[in-house]
Structure 1
Amino acid sequence: MCTFGLLCQHNLERFHAWDGVVDPNEPVVVPRRFVVTRAEAPGFFRGIPIPCWEEFADYVERARAEADGVIVNTFEEMEPEYVAGYAAARKMKVWTVGPVSTYHQSRTTLAPTLASRGLRTSAIDPDECRRWLDGRAPGSVVYVSFGSISQADPKQVVELGLGLEASGHPFVWVLRNADGYDEAVRGFLRELEARVAGRGLLVRGWAPQLLVLSHDAVGGFVTHCGWNSTLEAVAAGLPVVTWPHFTDQFLNEKMAVEVLGIGVSVGVTEPLTYQAVAKEIVVGRGVVEAAVRSVMGGGEEAEGRRRRARALAAKARAAAQPGGSSHANLLDLVERFQPGAAGGAAASEV
C-alpha cells in the first residue's frame, strides 16, 4: 500500500469521516481534495460485512500504536507530500524502501530474478515468453493480469477477451486458474487463441510478470491495482489501465490516475465485496477496447502519460541505487535495529 492510501485511511478514521454514512457509495473527501466512497476506501472501517474484520482492524491499530515506524514499499520521490504527511500524522518514522522489485537486477542476475516472483513457478517457460515478446514492436504489447486472488466471472472473461481482441493491439493475458472455468469459457478461450494467433498470448496460471513488464515490447498494463503490481508498472515506466477489485486497490487507482497521471480507469466504482447483487459483467467489451486504445494509442494525453511514467521509472531506479533515498532508508533501518544498536529491540510495523 502506498503512503497516499495510508494517509487517506488514517484521516478517514481519525476524523470519523464515515460517521453517519450509510450508503457505501456516498462520497467523502481525502487529502488534496480527492473524493472517495466508503466502499472504495481500504477495508479498515468498522461494521463492514467481512468476517473477522473488526478483530483484524483492532489488531492492526494495536500494532501501529506500539510501532517505532512503518516500512513501505514505495519511494519518496513518487509521493513526497504523502510520505511526510503520514509520518507527521502518525508521529512515527516512515522508511520508504521501494520499489523492492528493482533490487538484485544486475545483468548477471536479471533473467532468473525476472522469471520468478516469490516461490511461484511460471506457467509458461520464461524463454518462450521472451521470444514471443522479442517478435513484437517496441511499446506495442499490452499486458493483462489481475493478480493472484481475483477470479473473474465467466461472462466477464468473455467480455475482457473480446475487448482485447477488438483493441487491435498485441497482448499477453494472464488467466489465473483458467482450468477452473466451465467448458463454455474454456472453449471460448481456445477459439480466441485461434483468432488472435501471433497477436495474443494467453498464459493459464502464473506468469513471469517482471520479465514481461521490463521488456521493450510492452507498452501498457491492464491491472487490478494491487500495490505490488502498480509499483512494478511504475518501475517499468508503463502507463496503466486501472481495474480495481477490492481493499486498497481503489486508492491505488486514484494514485495512478489522479496523483501520478499515468492511468486510464475502466470506471469500476463498486468493490466486489460491496456488491449487493453479484454482477456477471462489471466492464463491457467496448469499455475494455476503449481503455486499451487510450493507453496504447497516440495523441497528447497518451504521450503525456508515457512521459510521466518514464520519468517515474528513472526516479525509481535512482531511489534504489546506492546513494538513493530508498537505499539510504534500508541502511538506516538495518543500522537502527541491528543487535546492540540503540532501540534495536524495539518493535517496528512492517
Structure 2
Amino acid sequence: MAAVLAIPIKRIPLLYLFYLLGLTMCIFKCSRKEKTIALSTVNEVDEKEKEPEVLEDSLDEIAYLTKQFDKLLRKRRSFPVGRYPSRGSASRNPKPSDTTGDRTPKPKTFQKSDKCYECGGVGHRSVECPSRKNKSHKAFKVSWSDSNSEQFSDHDDENIALVASIELDEFFEDDDCDISMHNKCSRLVSASKSIKFPTAEVGLPQECESADMITTPEMEGKFFRAIRKLEPQLEQILDQHRPHCLVADLFFPWATDVAAKFGIPRLYFHATGLFSMCAAISVVIHKPHKRVLSETESFVIPGLSDEVKMTRNQIADAFKLDDEAEASKFWITAIECEKRSYGAIFNTFYELEPDYADHYKKVYGMKTWHIGPVSLADKEAEDMATAEQHQCLKWLDSKTPNSVVYVCFGSQTIFADSQLLEIAAGLEASRQDFIWVVKKERKEIEEWLPEGFEKRMQGKGLIIRDWAPQVLILQRKAVGAFLSHCGWNSILEAVSAGIPMITWPVSADNFFIEKLVTQILHVGVGLGVEKWVSFVDESLKREASVKREAIEKAVTRITEGNEAKDIRDRVKALKEMASRAVDEGGSSLSDLNALIEELRTLNRS
C-alpha cells in the first residue's frame, strides 16, 4: 500500500512538499475503488513497443518527476479525502485498458527546449539529437490500475499509498525550475515497496481499506486495529530507505517510536485546524464535560483565549469514556507521542488562527509549521480540462453574483432519506438558487425528494449525484454561501474563496470547527445542530434532526440583510490573507521554507 519515493529536491513548491510529506494519510483515506498508483523508473530501450514517455535529457529526471507527480496529485484530489462526496467513482475514473502507463499525459515541452542537452548544441531538441541513438535513457513511468479491473497490475490487489523520502543535500538559489539547474541535482532514486492493509487479519472485508467504507461501529474498531498492525511494515520501509523525516497523522501515534529507532525525526500532520486541536486537547486533558450534570448543560473549554461553550452532546463519544477505555487510551497516547515527536504540520495559515497558533507552541511546547491553505497552491491543477468541462460551472457562470447556495456534506456523511427531504424543502422555501451535491443514484422514483421537486427547480437548482469540482465551484462569483458539514478542508476552501458559511456539524472535529467559524471568526451562521453523531451511527441514516424551517432561516440569514454583508466583508478579508500567506514572503511559504531548511540542517549535523 505504499510506494517509497526518494527525491533530490531544491525548493519544491508548497503543494508538492505538502503532499510528499503528507500522503501517508492515504493509507486509510484512499479507497480501492479508485486508483492504485505504482511508480518506477524504466529503460526506454526496453519499452519501445509501448512508446513510453521519454525524457528530453536523461538528467532532467527531477523536472520531469515534478510535472508527473503534479498530475498524480491532481488525480489524488478526486479521492475521498473528506471534502467531496462520491469521489473517484467509475464515471470519474474509467478503467484503463492496461496498466503499462499509457494513461499518463504526455509531458509538456520544457522551457529552452531548442537547446540540446545531449550534445550541447542548438537548433534541435535533445530527443532529436543523433548522439542519443543506441543510448539508454531513463523515463519516469506511472502505472495506473483500477481495483475493479481484471487486469490489475503486478502489485496484486493491494491498495497503494505514497510515502516520501526527501533528499535535502542539493539546494539552489534560483526558483525558475530551469532544466540546467536540475542537471545539478543528484540522480533520481525510485523504488517500489508494497504495504498490505491487513483487512483479513482483523476480520474486515478485503475491500475495506478506506474510512468511508466503514459502515458499522464494529467495523470501525477493526479498522483502527488494522492501522496499528501496519507498524512492522513501516519499520521495514524506514530501515530499507532511511528517509530524512517521517510524516504521519495522529492516527499513527506509534510512528514516533518507529522513527526514533532509526534516528529519523517524526512530524505529525494534522488534517484539522489549530483551534480545533487546542480545544480537543483541552477537553481530553481537563475533562470539563465531566463536571456538568446533563448532556445539554453547557461548559466552557478551559485554557483558551476565547470563551467557547459546548455541551456533552456536542463532543465526540470517545471523549466521554473512562480513562481505561480503548478510545481514551488512544487519545492520551496520541498526545504523548506528539510531544515526543519533532513537531507538527498544519494545513492552515497563521493569520486565520493567530491566538491558537501561539497557544499550541507555548502551552503544549510543540514546534509547528503552518503551510496552508494547500488548495491555493494547486491553482494550476484546479484548472484541469475535465473539471472545467463540468456542467455545473457553465451553469454557475449564467447566474448573478452571490445568488447561489452551494450544499455539500463531504464523503462520509450519509443522511436518511427523510433528512434529504427536509433539505430539499428548505432550499425550495428559501427561494435561492442552489447546487446540491448528494450521494444518491438516480432512480425512476426519487422518494427522498418532494414530488415534482426537480421539475419545479429546473433552472433554479442543480443536483450533482457524483463528484463535484468543489474548489472551482466555490471560486465562481455566483456562489454566495456554502452549507457545509464543517470538514476542515471545506472550511479552508470556503475561506480561501471568500464564501460565507452555513454550519451543519455532524461528527469528528466538526463541532469544534463550527465554533471557530461562527463564534471566533464570525464568517458563518449555524443551523443549531446540537448532537454529535458518529458517521456509522444508525440514527444518522434514520432520523431528520434538522428541519426545513431551520434551513430556510439560515439561508435567508446568510444571504440577506446587514448581518450577511458584515459576514461577507469579514470572509473577503480572510480570503486576501490566505492568498498572501502562500505567496512569496507570506507566512505559510516562509514556514515551509523554514521547515525544509531545518530538516536540511538536521541532516547535515
Please classify the TM superposition score into its range, dividing by the shorter chain length. 0.7 to 0.9
The match for 1:64 is 338
SS of match in other structure, 1:143: strand
Residue 530 of structure 2 is aligned to residue 265 of structure 1: no
In structure 1, C-alpha distance between the alignment counterparts of 2:312 and 2:562, rounded to whole Å = 34
1:94 Cα offset (Å): 1.5
Please tell me whether the aligned partners of residues 28 and 36 of structure 1 are also in contact (alpha carbons under 8 angstroms).
yes
1:244 Cα offset (Å): 0.4
Q: Deviations over 1:39-92 (max 9, x none)?
A: 3235652518xx952353244224313212111111111110111011111101
Q: Deviations over 1:96-144 (max 9, x none)?
A: 11111100315xx5412993xxxxxxxxx74322111111001111100
Q: In structure 2, do the counterparts of structure 1 residues 137 and 61 end up closer, same or farther at CA, with 3 Å as the change threshold?
A: same
Gaps of 5+ in 2: 1-271
The alignment-based identity, stated in percent, is 34
1:74-85 to structure 2, matched below 5 A, reads 74-85=348-359
The match for 1:142 is 405
Residue 362 of structure 2 is aligned to residue 88 of structure 1: yes
TM-score by length of structure 1 reads: 0.86
SS of match in other structure, 1:185: coil
1:291-302 to structure 2, matched below 5 A, reads 291-297=554-560, 299-302=561-564
Q: In structure 2, do the counterparts of structure 1 residues 189 and 101 end up closer, same or farther at CA, with 3 Å as the change threshold?
A: farther
Please tell me whether the aligned partners of residues 336 and 344 of structure 1 are also in contact (alpha carbons under 8 angstroms).
no
Please tell me whether the aligned partners of residues 339 and 366 of structure 2 are also in contact (alpha carbons under 8 angstroms).
no
1:224-243 to structure 2, matched below 5 A, reads 224-243=485-504
Q: In structure 2, do the counterparts of structure 1 residues 97 and 126 end up closer, same or farther at CA, with 3 Å as the change threshold?
A: same
1:227 Cα offset (Å): 0.7
In structure 2, C-alpha distance between the alignment counterparts of 1:316 and 1:262, rounded to whole Å = 14
The match for 1:112 is 384
Gaps of 5+ in 1: 116-124, 346-350
The match for 1:120 is none
Please tell me whether the aligned partners of residues 76 and 325 of structure 1 are also in contact (alpha carbons under 8 angstroms).
yes
Q: In structure 2, do the counterparts of structure 1 residues 158 and 16 end up closer, same or farther at CA, with 3 Å as the change threshold?
A: closer
1:189 Cα offset (Å): 6.5
SS of match in other structure, 2:413: coil
Please tell me whether the aligned partners of residues 42 and 251 of structure 1 are also in contact (alpha carbons under 8 angstroms).
no
**Alignment RMSD (CA, Å):** 2.7
23-32 or 313-322, larger mean C-alpha shift: 23-32
In structure 2, C-alpha distance between the alignment counterparts of 1:305 and 1:114, rounded to whole Å = 33
200-209 or 10-19, larger mean C-alpha shift: 10-19
35-44 or 25-34, larger mean C-alpha shift: 35-44
In structure 2, C-alpha distance between the alignment counterparts of 1:194 and 1:185, rounded to whole Å = 15
SS of match in other structure, 2:314: coil
In structure 1, C-alpha distance between the alignment counterparts of 2:481 and 2:578, rounded to whole Å = 18
Please tell me whether the aligned partners of residues 243 and 266 of structure 1 are also in contact (alpha carbons under 8 angstroms).
yes
The match for 1:348 is none
In structure 2, C-alpha distance between the alignment counterparts of 1:110 and 1:66, rounded to whole Å = 37
Residue 284 of structure 2 is aligned to residue 13 of structure 1: yes
Q: In structure 2, do the counterparts of structure 1 residues 22 and 57 end up closer, same or farther at CA, with 3 Å as the change threshold?
A: farther
TM-score by length of structure 2 reads: 0.51
18-27 or 257-266, larger mean C-alpha shift: 18-27
Q: Which has the higher helix share?
A: 1
SS of match in other structure, 2:390: helix
In structure 2, C-alpha distance between the alignment counterparts of 1:306 and 1:113, rounded to whole Å = 30
In structure 2, C-alpha distance between the alignment counterparts of 1:88 and 1:182, rounded to whole Å = 58
In structure 2, C-alpha distance between the alignment counterparts of 1:46 and 1:163, rounded to whole Å = 34
Q: Deviations over 1:299-321 (max 9, x none)?
A: 21110000001000000000011
SS of match in other structure, 2:467: coil
Please tell me whether the aligned partners of residues 73 and 100 of structure 1 are also in contact (alpha carbons under 8 angstroms).
yes
Q: In structure 2, which of residues 396, 420, 431 is the aligned counterpart of residue 133 of structure 1?
A: 396
